[in-house]
């Protein structure tokens, strides 16, 4: 979307191109916002998207776009900052999940691997004791 707006497309045109060129629920939602913005205000269409989606990141995104439109700020800068924010949030979520995963793997590793390691270490000693008696 930022690339389309940077290239000179209107905001509605950028939403429509994202809606037609990409797949998925968010692309369909952007295409719907572009259609709604054609017959109502852009702010109302974006707020409608936030109400339908009920996802924190989309709500924050639409609120930022509405505020930027009211303040007359550059939409490209807002979209780029939002994209960076979402990427950072996703990276932090993945890091948190990997940190939790190592803790969750500790007990199965101990229960499954520790007995076999102990048997491997004790097997030569048991064989030598069997030869001794």
Residue 117 lies in a domain: no
> Per the domain annotation, does 122 fall within a domain?
no
pLDDT of residue 120: 92
Q: State the pLDDT at residue 88.
A: 93
| Residue 28 φ/ψ region, left for φ over 0, alpha for ψ in the -120 to 50 degree band, beta for the rest | alpha
pLDDT in tens, 44-97: 888 888 888 888 888 888 888 888 888 887 888 888 888 898 899 999 999 999
Q: Is residue 105 part of a domain?
A: no
| pLDDT for the residue 92 | 96
- Maximum distance among all Cα pairs of the chain, rounded to whole angstroms: 95
The pLDDT tens digits for 29-52 are 888 888 888 888 888 888 888 888
- Is residue 36 a contact partner of residue 48, using CB atoms and an 8 Å limit? yes
In a domain, residue 74? The reply is yes
Domain that holds residue 55: 2-95
CB under 8 Å to 31, separation ≥6 — which residues? 15, 16, 18, 19, 20
Q: Is residue 104 a part of any domain in this protein?
A: no
On whether residue 86 sits in a domain, the answer given is yes
Domain count, the chain: 1
Q: What is the rounded distance in angstroms from the CA atom of residue 52 to the CA atom of residue 54?
A: 6
Q: Is residue 17 part of a domain?
A: yes
In a domain, 18, yes or no: yes
Q: Where are the alpha helices (DSSP H) in the chain?
A: 2-6, 11-21, 25-39, 42-53, 56-71, 75-132
**Nearby residues of 30 by Cβ (< 8 Å), 6 or more positions away:** 1, 15, 16, 18, 19
| C-alpha separations of 56 from 60, 78, 84, 115 in Å | 6, 17, 15, 47
For the whole model, what pTM was predicted? 0.63
């Amino acid at each position: 979307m930022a690339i389309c707006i940077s290239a000179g497309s209107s905001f509605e045109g950028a939403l429509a191109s994202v809606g037609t060129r990409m797949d998925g629920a968010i692309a369909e939602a952007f295409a719907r916002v572009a259609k709604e913005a054609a017959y109502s205000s852009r702010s109302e269409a974006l707020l409608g998207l936030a109400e339908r989606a009920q996802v924190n990141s989309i709500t924050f995104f639409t609120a930022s776009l509405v505020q930027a439109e009211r303040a007359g700020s550059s939409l490209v800068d807002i979209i780029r900052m939002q994209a960076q924010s979402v990427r950072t949030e996703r990276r932090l979520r993945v890091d948190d999940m990997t940190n939790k995963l190592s803790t969750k793997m500790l007990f199965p590793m101990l229960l499954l691997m520790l007995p076999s390691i102990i048997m491997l270490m004790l097997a030569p000693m048991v064989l030598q004791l069997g030869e001794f008696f």
